[in-house]
């Protein structure tokens, strides 16, 4: 019998700490639903003490969650723990995840505490959390650079205080697989009471070893893996969920573990995340990149035709990458749109369906075939957008080679009032962005501008992603439209709205 392992997804918490990966409440709820469909055992919904917004999104995710454990992160502080519980108590299976650093460097310089004080704080935190729920996880931050015997001492004490999951993070992505596996083995073997807890790992990818370290740790006795979709997370990110899962599936001959992940949901989940955070999936990304199943060289193509196994270790279908299916067109009615959205996991109310039917018809006027990806982009734009302060009404851009510089005229609604402006730029996008910036009275630095076709075909919707920064606040915006100039205008306006919201929260 294969041993069961638990997949703990932290895309909504550690993942959201990735620069530019902030999500609004509706987007987080949508992603949480997809994580349930994917089959993760535990989803870490956020860090409630970080801000009122974080608290509210964790609470909303907890309320909406079905049979899935919902974790909230908190420092080992009474107020943080109480706040975490307040946020998740309505979940069917809530978990409090408290953490405290245990490495000499962190204890001395960051916490300014002695090892004995750290043990006392950790025990007090776990006791407080255990008074709320039996489902308590303790993480020893920077465990991979901590003293092994001290770790065992801390873990013995917190297990005694009620922790049922013990996490041994490689917080700074410093560990090497064999060394990390050795640490896991040592700690499990030398912590009195270790049989009462599930040991967990959480690996960062600073040296590109997050997935390798996670797999090594599972082989060494860990039974929970903390991972994120697309490996997003603090700095270089975390171990990528889709890579860990497909290693387990493809190499079950030597990685003999059972898990609950429905691998056909991997690609839809990663694609959804990529659309929400406005970060295209790199073409060469393992498992879900557009090149991951493309065979370019003649020798490889020849081999594939003779036997797929020559160059293919898993099928695209097994990770949910079927050919884009034609889903809707000009003549699709309300029921077709509603059914398709339900199939894709969107249960929208009547008003939202009406909005989507109108959006589908509008898109179908410009583009003959509408695919899953198009529909996903429309939902994110039409339904999950925050109520916007800046609304784009009309855009006209002229770009000729008659010596007249490119020009953009823009009409917007700003705080409920219509405003117009026209101006020039060195190119059409520059003219457009200048006009929008002028109207909104922002002068952000454009740090990133990327265009991507959502599907194949020259009539595909263009998806534009921009990253803007002003006064040390940065925001990512995305926009989709068959006309890339319109997509650019939408992305720029979306980023400005997010920037304005962040400024207000500050
Ligand atoms: O990387 C880390 O140590 C963490 C902990 C809070 C688990 O994210
Ligand atoms: Zn982390």
- Among 13, 74, 171, 227, name the best residue to mutate to test ligand 1's pocket (greatest count of ligand atoms within 8 A of Cβ): 171
146 close to ligand 1 (CB < 6 Angstrom): no
Atom of ligand 1 nearest to the CA of 167: 7
Query: Which atom of ligand 1 lies nearest, measured to the CA of 141?
Result: 3
For the CA of 144, the nearest ligand = 1
Please tell me the number of the ligand nearest to residue 234's CA. 2
Q: Is 202 in the pocket of ligand 1 (CB under 6 A)?
A: yes
Determine the distance separating the centroid of ligand 2 and the alpha carbon of 239, expressed in angstroms. Answer: 10
Q: Which positions of the chain have pLDDT values less than 70?
A: 322-326
DSSP 3-state of 427: coil
What is the 3-state secondary structure of 157-202? HHHHHCCCEEEEEECCCCCCHHHHHHHHHHHHHHCCCHHHCEEEEE
Lookup result for tokens 């009404």: 393
Decide: 346 in ligand 1 pocket, CB within 6 A. Answer: no
Q: Would you say 285 and 271 are in contact if contact means Cβ atoms under 8 Å apart? A: no
Structure token digits, residue 376: 């996903």
Q: How far is the CA of 310 from the centre of ligand 2 (A)?
A: 38
pLDDT of res. 324: 54
Point out the ligand 1 atom lying closest to the alpha carbon of residue 73: 6
What DSSP letter does each residue of 93-151 carry, written as one string? Answer: EEEEEEEEE-SHHIIIIII---HHHHHHHHHHHHHHHHHH-S-EEEEEETGGGS-HHHH
Is the CB of 98 inside a 6 Å radius of any atom of ligand 1?
no
Ligand 1 atom 2 nearest Cα: 171
User: According to the model, what pLDDT value does residue 491 have?
Assistant: 93
Q: How far is the CA of 140 from the centre of ligand 2 (A)?
A: 11
Which ligand 1 atom is at minimum distance from the Cα of 14?
A: 8
The pLDDT value given to residue 326: 61
Closest CA to 344 of 366, 358, 363, 328: 328
Q: How far is the CA of 263 from the centre of ligand 1 (A)?
A: 26
**Which tens digits make up the pLDDT trace of 62-92?**
999 999 999 999 999 999 999 999 999 999 9
**Shortest-distance Cα residue to atom 8 of ligand 1:** 14
Is the CB of residue 171 below 6 angstroms from any atom belonging to ligand 1? Answer: yes
| Distance of CA 287 from the midpoint of ligand 1 (Å) | 25
User: Which ligand 1 atom is the nearest neighbour of the CA of 17?
Assistant: 8
Cα 417 → chain centroid: 35
Buried b (16+ CB within 10 A) or exposed e, 366-388: ebebbbbbbbbbbbbbbbbeeeb
For CA atoms 153, 158, 163, 166, the dihedral sign is negative
Atom number in ligand 1 closest to CA 10: 8
């Amino acid at each position: 019998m294969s041993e069961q392992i638990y997949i703990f997804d932290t895309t909504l918490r550690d993942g959201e700490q990735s620069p530019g990966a902030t999500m609004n409440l509706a987007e987080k709820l949508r992603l949480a639903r997809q994580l349930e469909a994917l089959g993760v055992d535990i989803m870490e919904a956020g860090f409630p003490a970080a801000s009122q917004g974080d608290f509210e999104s964790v609470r909303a995710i907890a309320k909406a969650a079905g049979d899935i454990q919902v974790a909230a992160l908190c420092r080992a502080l009474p107020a943080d723990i109480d706040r975490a519980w307040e946020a998740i108590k309505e979940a069917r299976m809530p978990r409090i995840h408290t953490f405290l650093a245990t490495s000499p460097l962190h204890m001395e310089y960051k916490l300014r505490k002695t090892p004995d004080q750290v043990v006392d704080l950790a025990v007090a935190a776990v006791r407080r959390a255990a008074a709320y729920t039996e489902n308590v996880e303790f993480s020893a931050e920077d465990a991979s650079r901590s003293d092994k015997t001290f770790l065992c001492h801390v873990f013995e004490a917190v297990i005694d205080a009620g922790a049922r999951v013990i996490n041994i993070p490689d917080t700074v992505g410093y560990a090497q697989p064999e060394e990390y596996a050795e640490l896991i083995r040592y700690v499990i073997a030398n912590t009195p009471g270790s049989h009462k807890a599930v040991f967990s790992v959480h690996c960062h990818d600073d040296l590109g070893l997050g997935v390798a370290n996670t797999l090594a740790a599972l082989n060494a006795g860990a039974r929970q893996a903390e991972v994120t979709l697309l490996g997003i997370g603090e700095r270089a990110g975390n171990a990528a969920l889709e890579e860990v899962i497909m290693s387990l599936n493809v190499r079950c001959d030597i990685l003999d573990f059972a898990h609950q992940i429905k691998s056909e949901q991997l690609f839809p989940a990663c694609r959804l995340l990529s659309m929400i955070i406005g970060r295209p999936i790199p073409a060469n990304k393992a498992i879900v990149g557009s090149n991951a199943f493309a065979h370019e060289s003649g020798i490889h193509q020849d081999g594939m035709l003779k036997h797929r196994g020559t160059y293919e270790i898993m099928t695209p279908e097994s990770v949910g990458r079927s050919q884009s299916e034609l889903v809707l067109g000009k003549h699709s009615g309300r029921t077709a749109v509603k059914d398709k959205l339900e199939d894709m996991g969107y249960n929208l109310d009547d008003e939202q369906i009406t909005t989507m039917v109108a959006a589908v018809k509008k898109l179908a006027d410009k583009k003959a075939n509408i695919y899953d990806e198009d529909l996903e982009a429309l939902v994110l734009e039409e339904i999950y957008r925050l109520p916007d302060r800046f609304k784009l009404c009309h855009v006209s851009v002229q770009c000729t080679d008659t010596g007249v510089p490119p020009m953009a005229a823009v009409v917007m609604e700003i705080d409920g009032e219509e405003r117009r402006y026209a101006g020039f730029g060195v190119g059409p996008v520059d003219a457009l962005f200048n006009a929008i910036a002028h109207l909104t009275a922002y002068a952000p630095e454009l740090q990133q501008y990327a265009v991507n076709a959502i599907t194949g075909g020259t009539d595909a919707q263009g998806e534009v992603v921009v990253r803007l920064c002003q006064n040390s606040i940065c925001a990512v915006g995305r926009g989709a439209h068959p006309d890339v100039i319109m997509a650019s205008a939408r992305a720029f306006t979306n980023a400005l709205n997010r920037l304005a919201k962040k400024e207000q929260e500050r």
